[in-house]
Amino acid sequence: MGLLLCVAFLLGTTLCLGQERPEWGDVYKVKGVLYLPYAEIREPFTGYFDASQNLSRIDYYRGMVQTIQVAPDAEEGRSETPYGANYKIAYMPDKETWQPRRTCFLVNGTANNTVPLQAVLPDVTSFEFVRQESCWEGTTAVDEPAERASCERFQLVVTNENRVSKYTLWVSRDGQGRAVPRRYLMMGYNTLLGSHFDKYELIYHGFSRKPLPSSVFDITHLINETCRRFPGPGAEHLALHSPMAEFMNGHDAHMHSAFDKFKEDHSRDYGHHTEHERRRDIFRQNLRFIHSTNRANRGYTVKVNHLADRSSDELGYLRGRLQSRAPTNALPFPKDRFSSDLPDYVDWRLYGAVTPVKDQAVCGILLELRHRGRAGGRTLPQDGEADPALGAAAGGLQLEPGEQRDATGGEDFRAYEYIRAHGLATDEDYRGLPWTDGICHDTKVDATVTTIRTTSP
């Protein structure tokens, strides 16, 4: 635990060594992870900031998306206008080959909307020192911190009507006593609803104050093509060209604009302002998820749809599955029997362990086909070939009236319990399914699979 030394001066000013507000300097580079727990996002980033050159740059998802901000007073030739420019490099499908290709977009500043630099470290002008504590106190973004360093905790509390936003920063000190950022946490609490409306956390590492070469911010050094104008409404420009502005500067005009459009497109009328606030906060997290997912360049893009104001629990009800508390009777997986490392990839089709694609017709039997396919695959070790014709009896499993939970409920352990108790016949013996709910006649045929053992991780 570090000690604080406080000295009182004649004018009444007290200086406590070790609790000075952090100063980041005009030039820095820092890496980190943006953690959005309500949107279930962990997004790595690298930030470059050089106020002396009036330039900043942020790379997201290890360079999948790169943004450069050119402020008005930057070196001549960096932007087309005297008001600065926002550059964005991202992967877009080629119109001819439809293959992903790095593409550059440009949004110029205007006289009424000049381009600011974008920091990845907060402005701590109004922050106050709280105490000395562990750098990882209360965090859920780091599972097992590699080090148990001590940090100075600074905090800012902002109240806006019934909303209380608490911003907390943890910093350590280097050998020269300069601040090193470690964590930045925002917690938003709605006193009217009695719930949290927002949370995000940034974990920093690799902070450096070394000078940055101008090539770091040179768009021609990053991509060899002419930047095109960015399409789309103006409200989205800042969010897409400078996503970090929402978390460092509190810019959320794009969210309000998108939410207004969402309400208009989908005829939403929430009836009460508290419900309106709750839905808007859910929409905020879903919009963040959409933008972050698209920055990750996963081979597809997502966008706002009619479910964007629905919570995870509400979406869960739409998936048609109620989680059962019944025991599965599965055995623990015998890890001690498998000492060698598993391969990264195995194509079981080459070994005959994958059954052909099944037609589920109009019956909710897709899950049943999956379970009996698993059972078919389990015959591979005995005879070297999966049995694609293992019977459909398990699909219509109905232990009690209204209890058909394999085909329509997705509770696979019930199918395995059935096989364990009664065995499983082939399609040829069972004579297939009518592809709708029917009468089980498995007791009239012989079982091909007579034993089965299931395990759980």
Tell me the two tokens of residue 223.
Answer: 């991509």
Domain at 60, CATH number: 2.50.20.10
Whether residues 115 and 208 share a domain: the answer is yes
Spatial separation of the C-alpha atoms in residues 113 and 319, rounded to whole Å: 45
Going from the C-alpha of 457 to that of each of 322, 324, 335, 410, 454, the distances in angstroms are 21, 18, 9, 19, 10
Residue 11: inside a domain, yes or no? no
Whether residues 297 and 311 share a domain: the answer is yes
Where the chain has pLDDT below 50, the residues are 1-17, 360-372, 374-382, 388-389, 391-409, 435-437
Domain at 341, CATH number: 3.90.70.10
Query: Can you name the residues that pair with 27 across neighbouring β-strands?
Result: 50
Whether residues 240 and 152 share a domain: the answer is yes
Q: φ, ψ for residue 285 (rounded to 5)?
A: -65, -40
Q: Report pLDDT for 7.
A: 47
CB 182 within 8 A of CB 172: yes
Whether residues 391 and 404 share a domain: the answer is yes
Whether residues 243 and 258 share a domain: the answer is no
Whether residues 269 and 372 share a domain: the answer is no
Of 268, 297, 318, the residue at which a domain comes to its end is 318
Q: Report pLDDT for 388.
A: 46
Residue 18: inside a domain, yes or no? no
Residue 4: inside a domain, yes or no? no
Other beta carbons within 10 Å of 271: 7
Of 209, 231, 248, the residue at which a domain comes to its end is 248
Whether residues 238 and 270 share a domain: the answer is no
Whether residues 313 and 398 share a domain: the answer is no
Q: 382 lies in which domain range? A: 331-456
Residue 2: inside a domain, yes or no? no
Q: Report pLDDT for 411.
A: 64
Spatial separation of the C-alpha atoms in residues 450 and 329, rounded to whole Å: 17
Domain at 287, CATH number: 1.10.287.2250
- Backbone dihedral region for residue 417 (phi beyond 0: left; psi -120 to 50: alpha; all else: beta): alpha
Smallest CA-to-CA distance from 172 within 144, 148, 156, 155 is with 148
Whether residues 149 and 285 share a domain: the answer is no
Q: Give me the number of domains the chain comprises.
A: 3
The H-or-E segment that residue 273 falls in is helix 273-295
Q: Report pLDDT for 359.
A: 53
Whether residues 42 and 133 share a domain: the answer is yes
Q: Report pLDDT for 265.
A: 93
Q: Report pLDDT for 377.
A: 45
Of 248, 272, 300, the residue at which a domain comes to its end is 248
